[in-house]
Structure 1
Amino acid sequence: MAAPIILCDCAGMDEKRWLECREHGPKGDIEYTVGGSDVATIFGLSPWMTPRELWLIKKGRLQPKAKPNPLQLEMGHLLEPIAAHFYAQRTGNTVTDDTNMYQHADFPYALADIDRRITRKGDGKPGVLECKSCTYHKAGDWADGAYPLYYEFQLRYYLAVMDVDFGAFSAIWGNNPEHDLATPSLIRDQAKEDIIFERLDQWIWSLRNDKPPAMTEVAPKLALEALAHICGPSQKALPTIEFPLKYEKSLRGIVALQDENAALRQQMKENEAKIEAYSVRIAELMKAHEHGVLTTTKYKLLVDFVTKTTHRVDSGYLKKEHPSIYAAALKASESRKVKVSVEPV
């Protein structure tokens, strides 16, 4: 291995120019590139994007989806220096800003924009720090020194590009760094690195030879969202597709599950009607009381009858009294769902 090549300094660079450098290098002479955030997607591990979508974006055949949470992304960027600060405070390692874009010495397609450099306390060895932020319900992903697999692939890729032997995360999710901060580290693993770059070589080959990846091994929900993004809205003028017989098992399976769901929904409606019938006498006894209890020799039955207030926009009033505001507030959303029906021939 050898030290990485510095392609450019991204400090002060606007997003448009940064994306140009990221996609084809600052001189525009790299046909296809891979960045750290692409690696998990290429392996089918990303919870946000499928390999097919990324492949089409790299080929220039698909525009990236609009970010669903731009404010959250902005917050994550603003929290990076805070995460880095408390990582340094907790570990004693020196953290240094690094705004360069790097290229792997042996794999020209492999580019990296790292969050921070680390100099390890004691031996002075260099490393890479990845700063992450998440919500409280994702904090468990970082418990007891753990880290999400998709982030591990990103960091191991950076260690390879930068030719350094250790990396660390600083993940923050609250305002108490003593409890709301995880700082797990990992050591470079050549076997895992070889697996990563073998797959990346195959990926670049697929781009050059126009061989898009399949949707196999992609979570079904993510695959359906991706196909909606790739294919766009349905078109009424298109002819009906004739399916070959090999799809009969899948289609009949959908029909059976649709019927089962319909039966369950009907059973739920019947159950709700019975619950309401039982509840009438209970409500009469409760009057304005919120809680009740029935105690037997084996257990207690706790009864709640609490008023809950919800606030919703009165769309009818808004449409009638303020039609322009109503029209401006309307948000279109598209969805497509497979439905299978059976009819006799």
Structure 2
Amino acid sequence: MIAHCLAKTKEIDRDQWLEYRKRGIGGSDAAAIAGLNKWKSPVTVWLEKTGQIEPEESSEAAYWGSILEDIIAKEFSLRTGLKVQRKNAILQHPEYPFMIGNIDRLIIDKKHGNGILECKTTGEYNKGDWEGDKIPDHYLIQVQHYLAVTGLQYAYIAVLIGGNKFQYKLVPRDEEIIQYLIKIESDFWKLVESRTPPEMDGSQASADLLDILYPNSLPDSRIELPPDAEKLITEYEEAAAEEKAAAERKEAAANKLKAMLGDYEVGFIGKRKVTWKTVTSARLDTKRLKAEMPDIYSQYCTESVMRRFSIK
């Protein structure tokens, strides 16, 4: 293994671990930077690494994935005969120190050389992502990132699907992917160091970053936009039209199903259930409150500032 040890994880708490993670790009970060992590965008990674937002708390699924990691590692060892051991460290690439990683287990194999074991859990509804030789792209990128950091030649991904289906798959080192990751991660880390935001995308993180960078408009200010703006306006308007058409199709389907239900609250077809229930909710009539009790309305009314976007 060529990797350096950035920190021993047995000796640090979670807050310290998160601080060390800000010093580089991890496996799940790599997938996000490559645009292959459906839970995180490149802008989110940039905001985390520059300390402008805190990483989200672990989800329930991530919690149970961590709890079951040891069981999956033991089952892999039992089925393959390969010895595995914990590597309680944040590892760091010796040449590209911004490339870091926490591997789940190190595979000890004197005959074929050591490797990496990554342990995953997923729901039954994701079983199609693992059929045959398939492995989700974000996990492949994560593993290749770890192989780059460690210099090792192979990894296995072991996955428990739906709590009762166990699989493991070999992932050989892919130099083409690794060189691609080194390039995009090097470019991304320069943006972190210079605090230059990455290109905006359609994520909520991008919208939040724009609100942080440009919270208020300059009154009566004007600017001549660059030529690329024409293409973006067209994309925006086409997407808006598609969104409107999709919303109308959605509403039409809902109305037809409601007509089928009539007075009935619940309907079934096969394993699917359709409901149209009566729900009572209380809402504050702000117009009436403002008209009849203006003092109370002004006492509890809070002012918010936002920038409204439109194209004409």
TM range (shorter): 0.7 to 0.9
SS of residue in 1 equivalent to 2:2:
coil
Runs of 4 or more, structure 1, over 6 Å off, are: 233-238, 240-243, 307-313
Please say which of residues 250-259 and 200-209 is displaced more in the overlay.
250-259
- Structure 1 residues 240 and 183: alpha-carbon distance in aligned structure 2, compared to 1, 3 A threshold: farther
State the shift of 1:267 in Å: 5.7
TM-score normalised over the length of structure 1: 0.67
How many pairs are equivalent? 281
State the shift of 1:114 in Å: 0.8
Structure 1, gaps ≥5 residues long: 25-32, 284-289, 292-302, 317-335
SS of residue in 2 equivalent to 1:74:
helix
State the shift of 1:148 in Å: 1.0
| Residues 1:119 and 2:98 aligned together | no
Counterpart of 1:6 in structure 2 is 5
Structure 2, gaps ≥5 residues long: 283-305
Whether the 8 Å CA contact 1:50–1:226 is kept in 2: the answer is yes
Counterpart of 2:285 in structure 1 is none
1-side partners of 2:247 and 2:162: how far apart?
43
State the shift of 1:116 in Å: 0.4
- Structure 1 residues 117 and 312: alpha-carbon distance in aligned structure 2, compared to 1, 3 A threshold: farther
Could you tell me which amino acid in structure 2 is paired with residue 80 of structure 1? Answer: E
Query: Which of these residues, 51, 65, 68, is aligned with residue 76 of structure 1?
Result: 65
SS of residue in 1 equivalent to 2:171:
strand
Please say which of residues 127-136 and 167-176 is displaced more in the overlay.
167-176
The Cα offsets for residues 83-122 of structure 1, whole Å up to 9 and x where unpaired, read as 11111122111111121222212222222211001124x8
State the shift of 1:258 in Å: 6.1
The Cα RMSD (Å) is: 4.1
Counterpart of 2:256 in structure 1 is 272
* Percent of residue pairs bearing the same amino acid type: 25
2-side partners of 1:165 and 1:103: how far apart?
16
2-side partners of 1:279 and 1:139: how far apart?
33
Query: Which of these residues, 194, 206, 225, is aligned with residue 179 of structure 2?
Result: 194
Whether the 8 Å CA contact 1:145–1:183 is kept in 2: the answer is no
2-side partners of 1:75 and 1:310: how far apart?
34
SS of residue in 2 equivalent to 1:185:
strand
2-side partners of 1:84 and 1:97: how far apart?
10
| Residues 1:102 and 2:86 aligned together | no
| Residues 1:132 and 2:117 aligned together | no
| Residues 1:35 and 2:26 aligned together | yes
SS of residue in 2 equivalent to 1:107:
coil
Whether the 8 Å CA contact 2:261–2:276 is kept in 1: the answer is no
2-side partners of 1:256 and 1:21: how far apart?
45
SS of residue in 2 equivalent to 1:183:
strand
Could you tell me which amino acid in structure 2 is paired with residue 125 of structure 1? Answer: G
Whether the 8 Å CA contact 1:145–1:182 is kept in 2: the answer is no
1-side partners of 2:250 and 2:275: how far apart?
27
